């Protein structure tokens, strides 16, 4: 009998790729995703439909905060917890939703995993947003100081997971750094930039363009997350960065290069809660996970642009 794992947020951008990888590796996957309205649920439902074509996948369309977890975790040996409400800006106006989706749901899942005799490991998808505007590079052993409700809820959920690590349940928290690539969430800057550029529209760039991000390609994130299942690490947070620290001005220039022409840019004020720079210290990821990112930023951005171009063509044919 193949081993069984649970992937929460399995219809999301990263969760669906991880679920596909685990299925390809021979796992049976129980996916949990409630198709919330954090962005267009149709995108999530389409990914869940694709996963359901695999005989080893079973989907639970439920909220983790209300799902009967005891029965759902029966026979599950590992949990990959990627479910949650993402995005910095909305967290200032929707704080209660972020507390529900990120903190309350995580606390309930962790308690259930501790009680489930079959579950031996829980891998939690945390975020670089827990650091706030810390000194660069971001190191896991510095005191976290998030500057948004989103970052705070991710930190609280991370602390809950790590505090539960012990003899019966090993936990690890992976702090993801700006994940991008084909299938990226529609609210994220790279996708918004690429969609505007492909449509011949105007990019809305918040800030002066000097702010930078450690961009991490989605397949690299999936690889690190998969490695965390068997790695000799427990009770720790581990940065997962792509080694591609790029300014937003450089992103625009690369888009122009990839598309072969200029793009229009409209500058907006700095957005509340956005940090100026992120870059991961990847020592733990290299040492403990044996992980090194493989995809260069230009190649990953070109792949995302091509995915959007094909997606637009499919929509056009359907229309």
123 bridge partner residues: 80, 172
Of residues 98, 124, 150, 180, which has the active-site annotation? 150
Rg over alpha carbons for the chain, rounded to the nearest Å, is 19
Q: What is the dihedral of CA 253, 259, 260, 264, to 10 degrees?
A: -60
- Residue 150 known to be catalytic: yes
Nearest to 7 by CA among 21, 240, 224: 21
Measured distance CA(22)–CA(107) in Å, rounded: 25
Q: 295 in the Ramachandran plot: left (φ > 0), alpha (ψ -120 to 50) or beta?
A: beta
Query: Which pair of structure tokens corresponds to residue 99?
Result: 């507390």
265 bridge partner residues: 203
Q: 81-107: b or e for each residue (b if 16 or more CB lie within 10 Å)?
A: bbbbbbbbebbeebeebbbbbbbbbbb
| Enzyme catalytic residues | 150
């Amino acid at each position: 009998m193949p081993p069984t794992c649970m992937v929460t947020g399995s219809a999301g951008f990263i969760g669906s790729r991880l679920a596909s990888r685990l299925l390809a590796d021979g796992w049976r996957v129980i996916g949990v995703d409630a198709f919330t309205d954090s962005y267009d649920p149709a995108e999530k439902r389409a990914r869940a439909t694709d996963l359901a074509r695999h005989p080893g996948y079973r989907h639970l369309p439920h909220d983790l905060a209300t799902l009967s977890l005891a029965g759902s975790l029966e026979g599950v040996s590992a949990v990959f917890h990627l479910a949650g409400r993402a995005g910095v800006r909305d967290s200032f106006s929707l704080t209660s939703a972020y507390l529900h989706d990120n903190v309350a749901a995580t606390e309930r899942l962790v308690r259930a995993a501790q009680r489930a005799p079959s579950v031996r490991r829980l891998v939690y998808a945390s975020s670089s947003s827990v650091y706030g505007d810390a000194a660069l590079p971001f190191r896991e052993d510095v005191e976290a100081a998030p500057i948004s409700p989103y970052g705070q809820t991710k930190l609280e959920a991370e602390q809950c997971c790590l505090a539960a690590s012990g003899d019966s349940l090993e936990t690890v928290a992976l702090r993801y750094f700006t994940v991008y690539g084909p299938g990226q969430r529609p609210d994220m800057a790279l996708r918004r930039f690429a969609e505007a550029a492909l449509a011949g529209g105007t990019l809305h760039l918040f800030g002066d363009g000097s702010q930078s991000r450690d961009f991490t390609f989605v397949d690299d994130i999936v690889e690190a997350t998969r490695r965390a299942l068997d790695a000799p690490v427990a009770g720790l947070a581990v940065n997962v960065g792509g080694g591609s620290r790029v300014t937003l001005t450089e992103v625009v220039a690369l888009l122009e290069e990839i598309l072969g022409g200029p793009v229009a840019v409209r500058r907006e004020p700095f957005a509340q809660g956005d940090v100026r720079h992120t870059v991961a210290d990847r020592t733990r990821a290299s040492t403990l996970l044996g992980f090194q990112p493989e995809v260069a930023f230009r190649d990953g951005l070109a792949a995302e642009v091509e995915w959007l171009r094909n997606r637009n063509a499919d929509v056009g044919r359907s229309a």
